[in-house]
Amino acid sequence: MVMKVRAATVDDSLALASLAGQLGYAASVHEVESRLRGLEAATEHRVLVACLEGGPLIGWIHVFISLRVESEPFGEIGGLVVAEGQRRTGIGSSLVGHAEEWLKARGIETLRVRSRSTRVDAHVFFQQAGFSMSKNQRIFDKRITLDS
C-alpha cells in the first residue's frame, strides 16, 4: 500500500463528507465544499488528505493555528479521521506528522487536540502519538439567532 498525503481540494468534498459521517458529523457534500472553500482562503488553516496511490481518499486532518490573548499561538487539530478498515495502519500518525511539519514551518511549537470523553480509542491513539492530557474541561455552546 503506497499512501500519499496532499492538500485537500474541493474535488475531495464527497470523500471528506463521507469520512466526517464515520466520525459522527453528518454534513452534505455542499456544506463540506463551502466550508473547504473558506478554509482554503485562510492561511492559518490547512486540510490534508491521505490517499492510496491510484485509489480512494482514506483519511483527512484539519489543523489550524489558534491565536489567543493569554497564551502563545499553538496548533490545534480541528478534525482527524481515517476510514473504517484502514485504522491502525499508520495513516493517522502520518497525517499528524504532516500537520506537525506544517506547524513547524510556521514557528509553532505546540499541537493540541480535543477529543470527546467517549472516544477511548482516540485517546489511546493520541497518547501513543506523543500527546499528553493537559486539562479536563467542558465545552458549552450557545446558538446565536441570525437576523434574516
Mean pLDDT of the residues in the chain: 90
Q: Is residue 20 part of a domain?
A: yes
Host H or E run for residue 11: none
Q: Is residue 107 part of a domain?
A: yes
Position with higher pLDDT, 141 vs 31: 31
Residues 6+ away with beta carbon under 8 Å from 99: 46, 48, 61, 63, 75, 77, 111
Q: Is residue 57 part of a domain?
A: yes
Q: Is residue 81 part of a domain?
A: yes
Q: Is residue 106 part of a domain?
A: yes
CATH number at residue 97: 3.40.630.30
Question: Domains in the chain: how many in total?
Answer: 1
State percent of the chain over pLDDT 90: 59
Q: Is residue 114 part of a domain?
A: yes
According to the model, what pLDDT value does residue 1 have?
Answer: 64
Q: What is residue 93's three-state secondary structure?
A: helix
Residues of the domain holding 20: 3-128
Q: Is residue 21 part of a domain?
A: yes
Q: Is residue 75 part of a domain?
A: yes
